[in-house]
Structure 1
Amino acid sequence: MPQRAPRNVLDRLRTPRSFPKFLGAAAICVLVGGLLSPISAAADDGTAALGAAAAGDYCGGRCSDILPPGENGNATLAQILLNQAFGTQPGHAEDQLGPYADLAKGYSALTDAQINTFFNDASFGVPSGQVASTEKPAGRSDVTIVRDRKTGVPHITGITRYGTEFGAGYAAAEDRLWLMDVFRHVGRGRLTSFAGGAAANQGLEQQFWRNAPYTEADLQAQIDHAVAAAGDRGRQALDDVNAYLAGVNAYIDASDSGRYFPGEYVLTGHKDAITNAGTIEHFKVTDMVALASVIGALFGSGGGGEVGNAISLLAAQSRYGVEQGTKVWESFRERNDPEAVLTVHNGESFPYASKPGSPQGAALPDAGSVTQEPLVYDRTGSGATAGAERASKSAATTALSSARRGMSNALVVSGKYTPSGHPIAVFGPQTGYFAPQLLMLQEIQGPGISARGASFAGLSMYVELGRGQDYSWSATTSGQDIIDTYAVELCQDDYHYLYHGTCTAMDKVEQKNAWSPTVADGTAAGSYTMRVWRTKYGPVEYRATAGGRKVAYTTLRSSYLHEADSIIGFQMLNDPGYVKGPQDFQSAVQHINYTFNWFYADSQHTAYYNSGDNPVRANGVDADFPVWAQAPYEWRNWDPATNTADYTPPSQHPNSVDQDYYISWNNKQARDYAAAPWGEGPVHRGNLLEDRVKRLVAAGGVTRSALVEAMADAALADLRAEDVLPGLLRVVNSSAVTDPTAAAAVGKLSAWVSAGARRTETSSGSKTYADADAIRILDAWWPLLVKAEFEPGLGSDLYTAFAGNLPVDESPSAAHGPTGSHAGSSFQYGWWSYVDKDIRAVLGEPVQGPLAQKYCGGGSLSACRDILIGTLKQAAGLTASQVYPGDDQCSAGDQWCADSIVQRALGGIKHGRISWQNRPTFQQVVEYTSHR
């Protein structure tokens, strides 16, 4: 038997020294000689078939897209070894990373003709001279996969619907088989058994399985429900999934027999490098639901956090008394702030989840009684010391999980303001930076399907974000509240609860995981059991007492047990016979039960719609706090057997057609739409887009390159410096600063603001920031000034509780922020609005929706000035090494590196760092010239 390979796939494969310990020289020779790639299909000789007919393409060459690092996300073992040892890249593994990174350097002089220097041509089809390969997957005659030379993107053309979807599955496995396998195991809570017991693997499976602890029966029931509820379209969707899976499994069989499967299967002990012993499990329909549950939890499941809200409210009431404490809490919550930037800015109101006038059924915990429900039990071996039990985290800290989902942006301008008279859009999702990327590009052409764009790996039976024949669509995470917390009163013991007056047993769902010892890193074998207690009101997340009664707090989301329902909406978006205009687009995305903002553009119209199954709550229920698990406080017409209820009708969701422009960067959707995360006040990263696009529209003549430039400029802006620092400097008043260190700091910060407040290099590729000292000073100053400004007035306990609801800072280098370090996405979560409102109040400037009191210096301008100058002096004295302490990627003091974006390895291939940009991962630039 061969030695079992190291199993920390998500972390350990980056260390080249580990490979010789478990692969002999003979094995490497065999692999390099025979496993570099599958047998290639014939390259284009000038007569190869096109991947898709260009007929039906109404974009006129003005559609572009980009998705780093590259389309190829599979690598054989030999390719992984070569990458680890010498940095060589498999073909098309990172060829989109360079153009993506270079936009930060080239956007300021961009012209329309230069757009495809930084993006791919997203026209349908492949010109004959650009065909790299043509294949008939599994020898089928009803589908062809053509890949282009530049990017290797698969262009799938089918004669039959089955063949089309078979080809989509085959192409997906060619490009993302390993990643698909990883995430179906994450969704099932079995990543450690599959890929090893490293802390990163444990964290992934624990994070997602707690929120979706499904049994096999649960997964199958979701499929049955989705099919039955959607009639003919549901049956077609199931047929499409089965054909897609047949394609995936055909590739598994072909790559297994040909020995060109992803090398990670060898590195994790699933396959033998010499004998080829071992198996790669076929995919099945329920795997698709497990995959969907992960994606939905990451990007489409807003709300929750009610227990964390309760903890901070109790802290506020303890500090100030019930009446004033509630006012203070509400002012920091900003759940319907009148100064917030809006996507629907025409004044239309869409009331949802507003604070009730007379709240009913609130079930706040007794102070200090909340504990998180343990998830992990019975640790053995390396699992016993792999890390602290997740239950040790405070409820407030854990509540941050609901804030980790927000990313993505959109800029859409009506044709009234463009030279061509056609709308222009620059939009895309920010799904994080990974190797391989979670998304993959494809084009699918077949009966009832005509689309190109990005899809999550393993769910690519349809294009999920992209373009049709004469329209494009995209999404941003909206985060509106579709999750409620119920307090179920315990009876008999800790595992029975009252349901409508009857003592009812909780359901125990367990997932046992065990992993073998590894060779390269010397970790021992281990195991543990994950256990979730489920009630009719959802899984138990916390325990506490409320009014002296023992309770369990459960989380119920409207998409729970409905992960598969959204497939119908995506099917419609891909159907040219269904989507013929903005109303059809809105009708399609209404079938998507995840919380997204959807945007649309064709040659004549633009549109917007906010999707998600928004539950109709009982009168008087405050969605921001836990309520008692009793019939009067349940969702209207809620059926616990199916987790269905009444949902707000489409007309009550924020929506619009042909507004002058739309922007979205996970900001507030519309007036009175109060079901939002913390932090939607007057300063939000959405303002970076709003200010730029509004200026463009006012001037008129908006071009594709101008809109790309607006996005790229916002992507390099420091929100704190652009929108908050000028007010801070007005308080400081340079003429009043006598300390030389503080005075020098003021001068540097003022010069940076005057220069545009961007985090940009001195020259292309210098890896050194212009205004480096000013950036360092602000990075150091922000947490110091926030603490000094607010903690004296709030008190330590309340300040800490509010910081648990909303992190103080999320700069590009902030490893402590919700998105972590080297993640690109920045400035969504922070106390920007609190500082802005407070500073304006202290200055005597008008503030709509002010904080309940003035905090900086107790409201005294001179005392506030002293606080700011004192903390500024302290910040200016910190060295770069202190501000940027270094990590697994960077040396201490390396400012550019601390900000840099890393494609985090989910397999064996690694890529180089790129400079920071705060922009979508997958992005489209579109302007349609005609319509069907």
Structure 2
Amino acid sequence: MARRTPRNVLDRLRTPRGFPGFLKSTAICVLIAGLLSPLSQAVAAPQVTASNDYCGGQCSDILPPGENGNATLAQILLNQAFGTQPAHAEDQLGPYANLATGYSALTDAKINTFFNDASFGVAADQVASTEKPGGRTDVTIVRDKKAGIPHITGTTRYGTEYGAGYAAAEDRLWLMDVFRHVGRGQLTAFAGGAPSNQGLEQEFWRNAPYTEADLQAQIDSAVANAGARGQQALADANAYLAGVNAYIDASDSGRYFPGEYVLTGHKDSITNAGTIDHFKITDLVALASVIGALFGSGGGGEVNNALSLLAAQSQYGLEQGTKVWESFRERNDPEAVLTVHDGKSFPYATKPATAQGQALPDAGSVSQEPLVYDRTGSAATAGATTTSTTAAATALTSARRGMSNALLVSGKSTASGHPVAVFGPQTGYFAPQLLMLQEIQGPGLSARGASFAGLSLYVELGRGQDYSWSATTSGQDIIDTYAVELCQDDYHYLYHGTCTAMDKVEQKNAWTPTTADSTAAGSYTMRVWRTKYGPVEYRATVGGKKVAYTTLRSSYMHEADSIIGFQMLNDPDYVTSPQTFQSAVQHINYTFNWFYADSQHTAYYNSGDNPVRATGIDPEFPVWAQAAYEWKNWVPATNTADYTAASAHPNSIDQDYYISWNNKQALDYSTASWGDGSVHRGNLLEDRVKKLVAAGGVTRTALVKAMADAALADLRAEDVLPKLLKVVTSSTVTDTTAAAAVTKLQTWITAGARRTETSAGSKTYANADAIRILDAWWPLLVKAEFQPGLGTGLYTAITANLPIDEAPSAAHGPTGAHAGSSFQYGWWSYVDKDIRAVLGETVQGALPQKYCGAGSLTACRDLLISTLKTAAGQTAAQVYPGDDQCSAGDQWCADSIVQRTLGGIKHGKISWQNRPTFQQVVEYTSHR
């Protein structure tokens, strides 16, 4: 099929008409100017090394596609015409991709073939350039030859942070600008009215509809509540912004600013007319609100939970329906893989003996609060694709939050006696990447690693002098839904018995086409109604009373608070032990699992402001907005409350090993995620690391291999398929089509159940037929297994809470197509428990009834064989129908990872791997 350029987030970034057929004279001028200006800044430099590095050359990291996320107009035009890449734009993509076929032959000596050397400093023969940003004498930015990473060294704190801001703008200015506009709900006005842009700004602004005053108030509050550290954070932020703005001015006058500003009409390539707005401190809060919403806001979905509970009760009756719902919810499943596996319990958000204050909606009464109004022009036809009208839409928003993994082994089980860690966040694949690498050395600052673009005044994930840290999304519930009873009209509600007006917050967006954009002019207004209990998300009736369902999260209006925790992580005088590490991350109010390793210890801590709920509140469902059911000591004006003590959060020091892949943290600690049951992708790490620890002598190589092997595994094939085939082969399979399929599937399992190429670069899978069969079979067998027993209504409702499948090529899954991250959300555990029950095996936390074949082994076998036969008969083109990236039937391409364009530079596809985007491999040899 013919391929088209994908409609990316910024559809206005298009090549001018006629290019690349020929270059207009103006384009030639731009090419010359754009190519020469950046190169003229690179000069030779003396050796820059650091004496405060205790990793002994055994720290490595990787962040594809490359450090350089800025490109001049000339570089963008060359990339789109000929595929050429600016320096360091994708030089980390190849090594990252190659681990998929190279890990089996990995040795310690080869690790940096697939990773960067993450030692502090730059050897003299590896210095590519130095600069004194803004002509300052108190800071130097050195870039290395291999990856172009900025190593920022300052003699003053101000100069150091100024350099961090300058380097951030050098590498990610356009992306920073995009996301400050996303956070403010202004992306379409900035980058055009493409449906993807509309959807992006709407998704985030609904959850954080902040005014300029709100953004500033968050800064004032964070600073005031943090004492001297708060004042230091404010000074650091202002210095950082000064560096960002200095680069904007320098690149504007030198005409080497990102070319996207020309393509979106903000700058003129000939006259240089137009401006790039300076950054201000409230922009940092807008940026933080986007990142927090993406990765650090666990919970929500209470209305959707209520709808599936009502469906269960409608199908089975009140008592049995509730029991069925709880079994599928798996909020405290005894077979779930745990990060803290030493048996210690951390009760949180557990099911109360008797629920109080529940406000379940009347059947059929729920509708989502409209967000978009007054559509004109091209916006008038986009509403159907950008605004959902059902409560089920929240499922995808909640589901996609979980990413990232971690593997840590205590020194007791390693060859060296020092802990080994392989960990990192899975933030998705973008061009340019959301994260950027840097090293920062200055008074009170000493770290190297990754930070979100525009928030890199501190390293957020990386290493200090003698320790490394990382995070995974934890997803515990810090979001509650309140039913506010309406009074007078739809825009007044009862607050403590008084009829109170809702606050209306609006954001109007309008756009006009440019010569590089075919999107017609249009506009719309986003409108959110805010209450003391948070923004209105749904309307419904409860017992006949009209209500608005609001969403309140503990980090709402507190996006800036976490800056103190990151400041501490970068402070070598603060983090000196696992205990001080845990103390630092306790200041981070987002929901993350934090991991730590030094030469002697490993540690873990689960962060987030977990509200103390009123007695009897079940956080799975909406509750009445009444004083008796509010968070303990909740103050609406500041959205502050009592939070659970640090000791009540899952935490540990020097456990034999830790694994995390967004799985359940500890016994009795309820997360907001569905599907934390007997089969979870965390099991892929647990099984491999547990074996390594049992054998002892673990090395960096062994742990990288375990991660890479898990990254290629098909969770269904490894942990569920053998049980399905046990049922199928409980008697001789006489159907030839089904029998042939069974043979192929068994062969694949024997080979390791991985989705791997036949050889590096072949773009063809080994066991391709078996993979195709399972991809086709899974949705068929799940529906045939469960829908008859659950009934269509309940089956559909539960799939709104938890999609049945998230294979790499499942574009319908929570993560979407070509995203890498796979097998987090699906019905793996349900199928596993049900099939084991049908086989007569012991099942802890079993489903309340047997669904496959109504519990009959013979009937279950017939059902599985029938659906298997159907699946085996589907062609590759049917299973992989093709999209804007791939031809129908191209299995490898359907799985492949695409660096989604957020700017003008594009990159090639890489083979699927289910692993972190930024990743570290560390083993410290000494300690201060």
TM-score band by shorter chain is: over 0.9
Relative to the length of structure 1, the TM-score reads 0.98
- Aligned to 1:156, the other structure's residue is in SS state strand
After TM superposition, list the pairs within 5 Å mapping 1:66-215 onto structure 2. 66-215=62-211
Q: Does residue 418 in structure 1 map to residue 417 in structure 2? A: no
Would the alpha carbon gap of residues 71 and 420 (structure 1) be closer, same or farther in structure 2, given more than 3 Å must change? same
Contact kept in structure 1, 2:8 and 2:900, CA below 8 Å: no
Relative to the length of structure 2, the TM-score reads 0.98
| Aligned residue number for residue 332 of structure 1 | 328
After TM superposition, list the pairs within 5 Å mapping 1:323-402 onto structure 2. 323-388=319-384, 390-402=386-398
| Aligned residue number for residue 27 of structure 2 | 28
Would the alpha carbon gap of residues 18 and 8 (structure 1) be closer, same or farther in structure 2, given more than 3 Å must change? farther
- Aligned to 1:635, the other structure's residue is in SS state coil
| Aligned residue number for residue 894 of structure 1 | 890
- Aligned to 1:529, the other structure's residue is in SS state strand
Q: Which runs of 5+ in 2 are unaligned?
A: none
| Aligned residue number for residue 830 of structure 1 | 826
Q: Deviations over 1:246-299 (max 9, x none)?
A: 000000000000000000000000000000000000000000000000000000
- Aligned to 1:35, the other structure's residue is in SS state helix
Cα deviation for residue 520 of structure 1 reads 4.6
- Aligned to 2:786, the other structure's residue is in SS state helix
What is the CA–CA distance in structure 1 between the aligned matches of 2:57 and 2:737, rounded to whole Å?
A: 55
Cα deviation for residue 16 of structure 1 reads 4.5
Cα deviation for residue 214 of structure 1 reads 0.1
Contact kept in structure 1, 2:468 and 2:597, CA below 8 Å: yes
Contact kept in structure 2, 1:518 and 1:525, CA below 8 Å: no
- Aligned to 1:544, the other structure's residue is in SS state strand
Q: Does residue 839 in structure 1 map to residue 835 in structure 2? A: yes
Contact kept in structure 2, 1:8 and 1:197, CA below 8 Å: no
Cα deviation for residue 17 of structure 1 reads 6.6
Cα deviation for residue 29 of structure 1 reads 1.2
Cα deviation for residue 14 of structure 1 reads 6.9
Would the alpha carbon gap of residues 15 and 736 (structure 1) be closer, same or farther in structure 2, given more than 3 Å must change? farther
Cα deviation for residue 30 of structure 1 reads 1.0
What is the CA–CA distance in structure 1 between the aligned matches of 2:46 and 2:570, rounded to whole Å?
A: 23
Counterpart code for 2:860: C
Cα deviation for residue 517 of structure 1 reads 2.3
2:775 counterpart (779, 784, 788): 779
Which segments of structure 1 move beyond 6 Å, counting only runs of 4 or more?
Answer: 6-9, 21-24
What is the CA–CA distance in structure 1 between the aligned matches of 2:861 and 2:512, rounded to whole Å?
A: 60
What is the CA–CA distance in structure 2 between the aligned matches of 1:553 and 1:367, rounded to whole Å?
A: 15
Would the alpha carbon gap of residues 7 and 116 (structure 1) be closer, same or farther in structure 2, given more than 3 Å must change? closer
What is the CA–CA distance in structure 2 between the aligned matches of 1:592 and 1:551, rounded to whole Å?
A: 34
Contact kept in structure 2, 1:41 and 1:133, CA below 8 Å: no
Q: Deviations over 1:719-748 (max 9, x none)?
A: 000000000000101642111100100110
Cα deviation for residue 387 of structure 1 reads 3.9
Contact kept in structure 1, 2:16 and 2:515, CA below 8 Å: no
Q: Does residue 559 in structure 1 map to residue 558 in structure 2? A: no
- Aligned to 1:600, the other structure's residue is in SS state strand
| Aligned residue number for residue 571 of structure 1 | 567
Contact kept in structure 2, 1:14 and 1:905, CA below 8 Å: no
Contact kept in structure 2, 1:143 and 1:164, CA below 8 Å: yes
Give the count of matched residue pairs: 924
After TM superposition, list the pairs within 5 Å mapping 1:230-379 onto structure 2. 230-379=226-375
| Aligned residue number for residue 710 of structure 2 | 714
Would the alpha carbon gap of residues 543 and 16 (structure 1) be closer, same or farther in structure 2, given more than 3 Å must change? same
What is the CA–CA distance in structure 1 between the aligned matches of 2:385 and 2:87, rounded to whole Å?
A: 42
Q: Does residue 699 in structure 1 map to residue 698 in structure 2? A: no
| Aligned residue number for residue 499 of structure 1 | 495
Would the alpha carbon gap of residues 852 and 232 (structure 1) be closer, same or farther in structure 2, given more than 3 Å must change? same
What is the CA–CA distance in structure 2 between the aligned matches of 1:37 and 1:336, rounded to whole Å?
A: 60
Counterpart code for 1:582: P
Cα deviation for residue 49 of structure 1 reads 3.2
Counterpart code for 1:395: A
* Greater CA drift, 668-677 or 158-167: 668-677
Counterpart code for 2:748: W
2:649 counterpart (646, 653, 664): 653
Q: Deviations over 1:134-181 (max 9, x none)?
A: 000010000000000000000000000000000000000000000000
Contact kept in structure 2, 1:72 and 1:175, CA below 8 Å: yes
| Aligned residue number for residue 856 of structure 1 | 852
Cα deviation for residue 386 of structure 1 reads 2.0
After TM superposition, list the pairs within 5 Å mapping 1:457-856 onto structure 2. 457-520=453-516, 522-733=518-729, 735-856=731-852
Counterpart code for 1:36: L
Would the alpha carbon gap of residues 184 and 22 (structure 1) be closer, same or farther in structure 2, given more than 3 Å must change? farther
Contact kept in structure 2, 1:886 and 1:898, CA below 8 Å: yes
Contact kept in structure 2, 1:44 and 1:131, CA below 8 Å: no
What is the CA–CA distance in structure 1 between the aligned matches of 2:854 and 2:388, rounded to whole Å?
A: 36
1:449 counterpart (441, 445, 451): 445
What is the CA–CA distance in structure 2 between the aligned matches of 1:388 and 1:192, rounded to whole Å?
A: 17
What is the CA–CA distance in structure 1 between the aligned matches of 2:19 and 2:691, rounded to whole Å?
A: 58
What is the CA–CA distance in structure 1 between the aligned matches of 2:107 and 2:495, rounded to whole Å?
A: 64
Cα deviation for residue 399 of structure 1 reads 2.8
Q: Deviations over 1:681-722 (max 9, x none)?
A: 010000000000000000000000000000000000000000
Counterpart code for 2:11: R
CA RMSD between the two structures: 1.4
Q: Does residue 49 in structure 1 map to residue 75 in structure 2? A: no
Would the alpha carbon gap of residues 15 and 221 (structure 1) be closer, same or farther in structure 2, given more than 3 Å must change? closer
Contact kept in structure 2, 1:44 and 1:132, CA below 8 Å: yes
Contact kept in structure 2, 1:337 and 1:681, CA below 8 Å: yes
- Aligned to 1:555, the other structure's residue is in SS state strand
Q: Does residue 406 in structure 1 map to residue 389 in structure 2? A: no
Contact kept in structure 1, 2:19 and 2:81, CA below 8 Å: no
Cα deviation for residue 675 of structure 1 reads 2.9
Would the alpha carbon gap of residues 223 and 866 (structure 1) be closer, same or farther in structure 2, given more than 3 Å must change? same
What is the CA–CA distance in structure 2 between the aligned matches of 1:24 and 1:379, rounded to whole Å?
A: 38
Contact kept in structure 2, 1:292 and 1:563, CA below 8 Å: yes
What is the CA–CA distance in structure 2 between the aligned matches of 1:509 and 1:215, rounded to whole Å?
A: 8
- Aligned to 1:388, the other structure's residue is in SS state helix
Question: What's the % identity of the aligned pairs?
Answer: 82
Cα deviation for residue 18 of structure 1 reads 4.2
What is the CA–CA distance in structure 2 between the aligned matches of 1:216 and 1:397, rounded to whole Å?
A: 28
| Aligned residue number for residue 12 of structure 1 | 11
Cα deviation for residue 875 of structure 1 reads 0.3
Contact kept in structure 2, 1:340 and 1:682, CA below 8 Å: yes
What is the CA–CA distance in structure 1 between the aligned matches of 2:911 and 2:392, rounded to whole Å?
A: 33
What is the CA–CA distance in structure 2 between the aligned matches of 1:42 and 1:25, rounded to whole Å?
A: 28
What is the CA–CA distance in structure 1 between the aligned matches of 2:778 and 2:861, rounded to whole Å?
A: 15
Q: Does residue 917 in structure 1 map to residue 916 in structure 2? A: no
Cα deviation for residue 11 of structure 1 reads 4.5
Counterpart code for 1:265: Y
- Aligned to 1:98, the other structure's residue is in SS state helix
- Aligned to 2:384, the other structure's residue is in SS state coil
| Aligned residue number for residue 3 of structure 1 | none
- Aligned to 2:805, the other structure's residue is in SS state coil
What is the CA–CA distance in structure 2 between the aligned matches of 1:659 and 1:18, rounded to whole Å?
A: 61
- Aligned to 1:377, the other structure's residue is in SS state strand
- Aligned to 2:130, the other structure's residue is in SS state strand
Would the alpha carbon gap of residues 19 and 435 (structure 1) be closer, same or farther in structure 2, given more than 3 Å must change? farther
2:214 counterpart (213, 218, 232): 218
Contact kept in structure 2, 1:734 and 1:746, CA below 8 Å: no
Cα deviation for residue 26 of structure 1 reads 1.8
